[in-house]
């Protein structure tokens, strides 16, 4: 059946000599694998840039729910993250977020609120001219609520440790050992209640930003066992160090 939907590009891999398989998160069908033939040949290869992480496309698909690989009839650009890919730091964030989303978005079913969150976040990131060093941390903090394991707000300042297994703030280190340090906990508590417009007020050193990022990824891995090692993490940490 021919279907129209909007999709956010997450990742692509080579397929045969000239084709690609793109992982895409669609508004209508959730995550889908899309087979695109001839994308890397001389005639149509110029369009391959449009299938990089965080590009948003309007798609017309030959969709079949039981099919592992969907086939595209045609596409047009809905949103081009031009400023993201013209800035080395932003482009590293885009690749990192694409890899994270590829790892955590497994559902082949629609989740419009989640799609809207990702789309609106990309738009905000594209427009950010400065003060975006904390964006990827804020994105992961917000994303956790759509994936079902966002912690509640810290109600007492005495709760100085973030329990990663149970997703709660506690006054003493839990015996299982999966918890954040006091310093990281204090900053994470801010991120979980901040908006994109206020994250620039959270002042961090490069080392602390990386410690918080690693803690969030540990938090994700504990609640989503399928999360794989994020290959782009080390590059991202170096860029913002």
Domain end among 23, 57, 80? 80
- pLDDT tens, 39-79? 655 555 567 788 999 999 999 999 998 899 998 889 999 99
- Which CATH number fits the domain that encloses residue 148? 1.20.1440.120
Question: CA–CA separation, 186 vs 183, rounded Å?
Answer: 5
Q: How many domains does one find in the chain?
A: 2
Residues 6+ apart with CB under 8 A from 74: 59, 60
Domain end among 30, 61, 80? 80
In the three-class reduction of DSSP (H, G, I as helix; E, B as strand; rest coil), residue 83 is classed as: helix
One-character DSSP codes across 93-136 = HHHHHHHHHHHH----S--HHHHHHHHHHHHHHHH--S--TTHH
Residues 71 and 91 in one domain: no
Domain that holds residue 23: 1-80
Give me the residues paired with residue 8 across strands.
Answer: 25, 56
Question: CA–CA separation, 80 vs 128, rounded Å?
Answer: 15
- pLDDT tens, 153-175? 899 999 999 999 999 999 999 99
Number of residues that this document lists for the chain = 241
Question: CA–CA separation, 146 vs 149, rounded Å?
Answer: 8
Round the average pLDDT of the chain to a whole number and report it.
Answer: 91
- CA contacts within 13 A on the Cβ side of 12: 24
Question: CA–CA separation, 135 vs 93, rounded Å?
Answer: 9
- pLDDT tens, 77-133? 999 999 999 999 999 999 999 999 999 998 778 899 999 999 999 999 999 988 899
Residues 170 and 225 in one domain: yes
Instruction: State the average pLDDT over residues 137-160.
Output: 93
Residues 232 and 114 in one domain: yes
Longest dimension (CA), the chain: 63
């Amino acid at each position: 059946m021919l279907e129209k939907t909007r999709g956010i590009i997450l990742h692509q891999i080579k397929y045969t000599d000239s084709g690609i398989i793109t992982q895409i998160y669609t508004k209508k069908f959730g995550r889908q694998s899309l087979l695109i033939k001839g994308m890397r040949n001389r005639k149509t290869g110029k369009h391959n840039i449009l299938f990089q992480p965080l590009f948003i496309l309007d798609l017309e698909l030959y969709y079949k729910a039981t099919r592992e690989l969907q086939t595209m009839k045609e596409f047009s650009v809905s949103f081009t993250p031009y400023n993201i890919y013209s800035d080395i730091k932003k482009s590293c964030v885009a690749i990192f977020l694409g890899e994270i989303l590829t790892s955590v978005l497994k559902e082949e079913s629609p989740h419009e609120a989640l799609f809207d969150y990702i789309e609106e976040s990309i738009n905000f990131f594209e427009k950010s001219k400065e003060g975006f060093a904390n964006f990827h941390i804020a994105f992961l903090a917000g994303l956790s609520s759509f994936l079902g394991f966002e912690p509640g707000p810290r109600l007492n300042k005495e709760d100085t440790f973030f329990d990663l297994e149970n997703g709660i703030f506690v006054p003493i280190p839990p015996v299982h050992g999966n918890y954040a340090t006091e310093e990281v906990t204090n900053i994470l508590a801010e991120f979980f209640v901040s908006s994109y417009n206020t994250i620039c007020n959270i002042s961090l050193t490069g080392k602390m930003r990386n410690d918080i990022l690693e803690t969030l990824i540990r938090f994700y891995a504990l609640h989503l066992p399928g999360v794989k090692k994020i290959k782009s993490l080390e590059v991202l940490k170096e860029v913002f160090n």
